[in-house]
Structure 1
Amino acid sequence: MKIILFKCMVFTCILISTNGFTCTQVKDPSRITVAGGSITEILYAIEAQEQIVAVDITSYYPIEASSHPSIGYVRTLSAEGILSLDPTLILGEDDMGPPSVINQIKRTGIDVSIVPEEHSVEGIINKINCIGNIIGMRVQTEAFISKEILPKIKELDHYSSMKNKKKKKVIFILGLQSGSPIVGGINTSADGFIKMIGGINPMSEFENWKPVNAESIISSAPDVILVTARGLKAFGDMETLMNHPSLALTPAAKNNRIFSMDGMAMLGFSPRTIDSAINISKKLND
């Protein structure tokens, strides 16, 4: 990942996004109902928060977002609840649903825009540009990317690709299921985050999230373990996590290389994800 590529790709990313149906500018973005925490964060970042009339429960950053009425969880929305808010636009992440509810809302004539998701730095740029195009704030999003995002990508590139740095094996734990850690495989937000920080995901033999037994985790010998703040609570505290039978014998636990951060900040693929990746990349180089 090199910053010069992103400087050249900013406007290309706009074309990639805006050519898609979901990134087409809508006729009236004055009353936006948001289904997805990363979208809410971006709307605040480009100062479009006055257009928000409601958010889902993953939209808790910035803290001011919590003052809006809630439409529930992004994957289990209610058409009646959303329509009662008289929105002019439903703006959602790619897992917004269920499909039957989305189709019901579309039949009312209200614009529904689903923002494409890609678990990479390029994907974050595309997401910001897509949102800007949908709500008619393309100039603002381009300026935000140039001023705020590209410098952070340059900083991340510095830490994640330092010369003489040996790539570390990193596993990402979401929580516990029947006593086994739930770990991110390939094609997950966790896998994308691990790649962003310049690590290797040793859990590449399976897709999605799944409970993994102690033998598999120990044999993968992770140098670093990442866990969401909510996932850490499932273990109890950091000491309990480090002494868990699945983790205690790993290099990460032995060397005190287990780090916990807010899950949405790491896995939401918003501007905060870049900040989180910089934070973790610095720790990996300590």
Structure 2
Amino acid sequence: MKPSIKILLSGIVLAMTTVSAQAAERIVVLTSDVSDIIVALKAEKQVIGRDNLSKAPSLAHAKNIGMFRNLTVEPIVALKPTLVLGSWMANPTHIYDQLNRHQVKAVNVSPQQNEQTFAKGIVLVGKYVGKQPQAQALSNQWSAQMKPRSHTGKRYVFTYDGQMVAGKNTVADTLIRLAGGVNAANQLEGIRPIARETWATLKPDVIVIANHSLPVVGGSIETFKQRPEIAVSAAAKHNKVLTMTANEAFSLDLNSPKVVEKLHALAR
């Protein structure tokens, strides 16, 4: 091979290496829904910091920055990230503005709680981690799996703790709709407390409880089902009271298609 060709090839390899190095980010991820996307795209080597619910083994090397519900700027800035990514789940909501004021690029890739925004968020994460084709394919697959199931008319109630229930404009409301059901608490806006006597008016066929709240509702599903206002429901009578993790029931993530299918199956 002629020396000039060798030099040219060496230059090309060097340029490619430089571009690759420039493309790599030092990412802090604020929320587990976004970290799951990064892991699915096999870009976790770029992650240097994570919230404490981002527990994928491949992220074990990343520094824990604390709980997504109570984030502070200091531990994030201390990691000297080139990019911070998160979703609507991050609190306080102004954390993105705070970081940008500290000259740290922070992006809320999924600012709203709906399936269209989450699908776009997958693509946006792919753009930032240099995995655009893979992210588009993942987004398309996720969206296809989230298509609405056949309407069943079954009434669902999602509750954190037997008192706070999810009304309209919540992730739970979206999951119920996609599962073909009816949100029995859709007269409420957001997540609101209800009185015990109100349960009887909801007439739920299915009740979903956040599993971390089991101690609050008596320690078990069976104990919860024995409450007078719950015992009269079709959900209690037909053993359609169950628990899900807070992530499954109250946030959209890559696992949501399985949750929708599970909810739809409960109508049978």
The normalised TM-score by structure 1 is 0.78
| Residue in structure 2 matched with residue 275 of structure 1 by the alignment | 258
Change (3 A) 1:233 1:50: farther
Change (3 A) 1:266 1:204: closer
| Residue in structure 1 matched with residue 142 of structure 2 by the alignment | 149
Question: What pairs up with 1:26-65 in 2 under 5 angstroms?
Answer: 30-60=25-55, 62-65=56-59
Change (3 A) 1:259 1:81: same
Change (3 A) 1:99 1:224: closer
Per chain length, whose mean CA-contact separation is higher, i.e. which structure has more relative contact order (CA < 8 Å, sep 6+)?
A: 1
Check conservation: 2:210, 2:243, Cα contact below 8 A. yes
| Residue in structure 2 matched with residue 222 of structure 1 by the alignment | 204
Change (3 A) 1:69 1:214: same
Check conservation: 2:157, 2:204, Cα contact below 8 A. yes
1:36 Cα deviation after fit: 0.9
How many residue pairs match? The answer is 246
CA deviation vs aligned residue, 1:243-268 (integer Å, no higher than 9, x gap): 12331211111111112222213332
CA deviation vs aligned residue, 1:2-54 (integer Å, no higher than 9, x gap): xxxxxxxxxxxxxxxxxxxxxxxxx8651110111100111111111111111
AA at the equivalent of 1:198? G
User: Partners of 2:107 and 2:191 in 1: how far apart?
Assistant: 27
Change (3 A) 1:239 1:65: farther
User: Partners of 2:30 and 2:50 in 1: how far apart?
Assistant: 6
| Residue in structure 1 matched with residue 154 of structure 2 by the alignment | 168
Check conservation: 2:181, 2:264, Cα contact below 8 A. no
| Residue in structure 2 matched with residue 232 of structure 1 by the alignment | 214
User: Partners of 2:96 and 2:117 in 1: how far apart?
Assistant: 24
Check conservation: 2:152, 2:180, Cα contact below 8 A. no
RMSD: 2.3
| Residue in structure 1 matched with residue 120 of structure 2 by the alignment | 126
| Residue in structure 2 matched with residue 19 of structure 1 by the alignment | none
AA at the equivalent of 2:201? S
| Residue in structure 2 matched with residue 258 of structure 1 by the alignment | 241
Change (3 A) 1:114 1:171: same
Indicate which of 37, 58, 62 corresponds to 1:68: 62
1:126 Cα deviation after fit: 1.8
User: Partners of 1:100 and 1:125 in 2: how far apart?
Assistant: 23
| Residue in structure 2 matched with residue 212 of structure 1 by the alignment | 194
Structure 1 gap segments, 5+ residues each:
1-26
1:223 Cα deviation after fit: 0.8
AA at the equivalent of 1:220? L
Indicate which of 198, 203, 211 corresponds to 2:185: 203
Structure of greater Rg = 2
- Secondary structure, counterpart of 2:230 in structure 1: coil
Check conservation: 2:159, 2:165, Cα contact below 8 A. yes
Structure 2 gap segments, 5+ residues each:
1-21
The normalised TM-score by structure 2 is 0.82
| Residue in structure 1 matched with residue 78 of structure 2 by the alignment | 84
| Residue in structure 2 matched with residue 24 of structure 1 by the alignment | none
Which deviates more, 70-79 or 192-201? 70-79
Change (3 A) 1:238 1:135: same
User: Partners of 1:194 and 1:47 in 2: how far apart?
Assistant: 31
CA deviation vs aligned residue, 1:154-175 (integer Å, no higher than 9, x gap): xx64xx21xxx53111000112
Check conservation: 1:224, 1:258, Cα contact below 8 A. yes
Check conservation: 1:76, 1:98, Cα contact below 8 A. yes
